[in-house]
Each structure stands twice: as C-alpha cells, then as structure tokens.
Amino acid sequence: MKGKIKVVMGTVYPFDESKIKGGVEAVAYYLTKALEGREEIDLSIVSCNNIVKKDFIEKRNNVKFYWIATKKNFYNLRVLTINAFKVREIYKKLNPDIIHVQGISEYSVASRGFPKMILTIHGLESFVDKMKLTSHFSGLQGFYRSVTSKLIADISIKNSCAIVSNAGDYFKIILGEKLNNKRIYYIRNPISKDFIDYNVSDSNQSFVDYDYILWTGTISERKNLIDLIKVFFEVNKCYPNIKLVIIGPVANLDYFNKVKKLINELGLSKVVKYLGHIEQKDLVEYFHHSKLFIFTSIEETAPMSLAQALVCGKPVVATRVGGVPYMIEHNNNGFLFELGDIKSMANKIIEILSDKEYTNNLSKYLKEHFTKIFNPENIALQTVSMYKEIFTAI
C-alpha cells in the first residue's frame, strides 16, 4: 500500500475538548486523539455543532476539522435534509478513501454513493421495546421521533459497507436481517489515557472529604435516575453518611425536575449532590475517588461511563440491559440486575461497601483487565487495521 489512507470521520465532536457531552462525543474525541499521530492515515473530522455560529474549517494538531453550524430543534428532520446536504458537500469536496461514521446520523445518511463507509453504531433506542413506553416516544412528537429515527437507521445501514460493533452481538439481535450480512468488526470504545494513567499521588485532595457512590451520564428518562434514587434511598438506610454524586448535563428538564422532587420527598437532599456538566480532568478525579459506580438505565449500547468506571477499578452495579452484558460478566467483573430490581441492587451495594478486602482485590483486577481492553492505543491499532482491510478490498 502506497501513501496514506484518506479518512473522514463524520461525528458529533466536543468543540470545547475539556467538556465532553455524551458517549459518542467521548468516543470520537478519544479515538481521534489516538489516531492523529498515525502515519498510515490522513484524518479529517466533519461535525455538526449547535455552538458554532457559522461553518468554518480549522486544524487541531494533525487533524483538519470541518465545522457545520446547526440547531437543536427538529433534529431528525435536519439529519435527513439540511445537515445531510452540508455533510455530503464536504464529503464530495474531500473525496475520501474511507468514511468512518460515529452513530446513526446525518453523517451516515450523507454517505450515499460513497462505497466505503464504515458505521459504528452507538444507540438503538427506537428499536427497543422498553423505550417505546417512555415519554420520549409517546404522543405525536414521540411518533415523529420513532418513524424518523428508524428511517435514518435504515438509510444509514444501507449506505454502509461494514459495521463496527462495540457491544458484541447485541446489534445482530436487535437489527437482524437489516444488517444484510454486512461485515462486522468487533472493536471496543476507547477510554482516555487520563483515566488509565491517573496517579493517586497527583490527585486533588479536595475531592475526597466524603465517601460517595457515583453516577455519570446525560440526564434523561432513558438513564432512569428515578430508580437510581430509589436504590440509593435503600443504601442510605444502612450508610446514612455516604453520598450519591450525580454528574452530567440535563437533556430532559421535565424529567430532571421529577428526579429532584423524588430526592426531596425521600429526604435525600443533603446526601445527593448534583454537580452538572464538569471538565474531564475533574471527572477523572470523581471516578477514581468514588466507592463504586451505579447504573440503572432502561437501554444502553456500550456506555462510556461504565467503561470509565471499569478502567478506574470501580465495582459496577448495573441493570442487565442492551449491550451491558457484553461488557460485564455477572459476579465476575461486575454485578447485573433486572430493570426495576431496586432491592437486589441496593443489597449488592451494601455488601460491596461492607467488604473492603474484597473490594480492593476486585479493584486491582478490574484495572488490570479493562485497561487492556479499552486502551486507546490498542483500539487505534484495531481501527487502522480495519481501514487497511477495507481500503484494499475490491
């Protein structure tokens, strides 16, 4: 193979790299950082962003960024129309050897006619039955979301030449014949070296003046924080001094207000701390100083916060949903429970908190095991190998 492979990654991307919003942004950022020094590829990023006021191009290190100004309202309609049109114009201008898309989106819709588009799937909410019961997919607005989301997914999968699965065979189970025997590459999401290379001796001691259980993510009904608070309420009965720290931006304000109301009703306002959307350097601190990580989602694919907890050596208590069982083996490297099983989740957390020797041994194992799995350099090697294979294919 002569010369570099010209790769364009179409993805949401953090305009402010110190504040990452959501799992797909995190994957795109971590993977870009791991790929930007690779000699085999020439990488560019195309990203729609509602923060930028106009379309522009900039270079960050060895990567050229093509920013497209967009808005939040009527998102799915924009994906299918104006956003896809703008992205496609950039694709045509760059004429890449490979397009790598993060998530079912305008970036995959825009790739029609480009024969080598690789699609990494990050979410399948509209295909999961339990999500249909949430307010996100109820009423006329929910019907619009469901129909347009499935249309975007169908177009995206059809346009792809290969699929990247970050959650084992979960996509095969959900999408079935829609995949149409496409080549599937099993590549995990990368986790930033900031989490992996953390040194306790360099830590900010202001983070450790109380013991806490951690939850991080984007606050929405899918993340099921109502059950999170109910589980913590049971734990608090045995450990009244431990706190619950919640970190992440609010995607659904009405739902967040319901969560705050429940916190007050259960008398937990003094022991539940909501920190909002924080910088990555602070997020690393909060992960490493936590006692354990709890996850109560209704649906997930390969949640970044769960992977971050594992590389930090934190015991994980989570719901057995979506792609989570492809990340965690129950009673081996984590603990999985059925959705809504509040009592069992709480009892397991109480058990973990009461057995320090077991927790310390588990922590050492988790760090060693998952650092190898989620190391960004390993993920970059696998990704470049995939690019080479697809580039040289007829």
Q: Is the pLDDT of residue 295 over 90?
A: yes
Do both 186 and 262 map to the same domain?
A: no
| Structural domains counted in the chain | 2
Do both 123 and 38 map to the same domain?
A: yes
Mean pLDDT of the chain: 93
CA distance 342 to 362: 23
Number of Cα atoms under 13 Å in the Cβ half of residue 74: 6
**335 and 350 in contact (C-beta within 8 Å)?**
no
Which of 129-138, 165-174, 243-252, 361-370 is predicted with the least confidence, judged by mean pLDDT?
129-138
Three-state SS at 41: strand
pLDDT average, residue stretch 12-39: 93
Give the list of residues 6+ apart from residue 389 with CB closer than 8 angstroms, or none: none
Confidence of residue 39 (pLDDT cuts 50, 70, 90): very high
Please report the pLDDT score of residue 205 as a whole number: 56
Identify which of 281, 310, 293 has the alpha carbon closest to the alpha carbon of residue 375. Answer: 310
**Residues counted in the chain:** 394
CA distance 175 to 103: 15
Can you give the residue range of the structural domain that contains 341? 193-373
The domain that contains 279 carries what CATH number?
3.40.50.2000
Kindly state the tokens that stand for 335.
Answer: 């603990």
pLDDT over 70 for what percent of the chain? 97
Do both 65 and 35 map to the same domain?
A: yes
pLDDT average, residue stretch 343-361: 95
Q: What is the C-alpha radius of gyration for the chain, rounded to an integer number of angstroms? A: 21
CA distance 384 to 61: 19
Do both 54 and 100 map to the same domain?
A: yes
Do both 156 and 34 map to the same domain?
A: yes
pLDDT average, residue stretch 311-320: 96
Do both 103 and 116 map to the same domain?
A: yes
Q: Is the pLDDT of residue 72 over 90?
A: no
- How would you classify the pairing of strands 56-60 and 63-69? antiparallel
Please report the pLDDT score of residue 37 as a whole number: 87
Do both 26 and 126 map to the same domain?
A: yes
Do both 221 and 340 map to the same domain?
A: yes
Kindly state the tokens that stand for 352.
Answer: 């973990």
Cα–Cα separations (whole angstroms), residue 348 to 244, 351, 355, 377 = 16, 5, 11, 34
Do both 28 and 175 map to the same domain?
A: yes
Do both 254 and 314 map to the same domain?
A: yes
pLDDT average, residue stretch 237-264: 96
Kindly state the tokens that stand for 377.
Answer: 């350099």
**87 and 152 in contact (C-beta within 8 Å)?**
no
pLDDT average, residue stretch 322-339: 94
> What are the φ/ψ torsions at residue 58 (nearest 5 degrees)?
-145, 165
pTM of the full structure: 0.92
Do both 345 and 335 map to the same domain?
A: yes
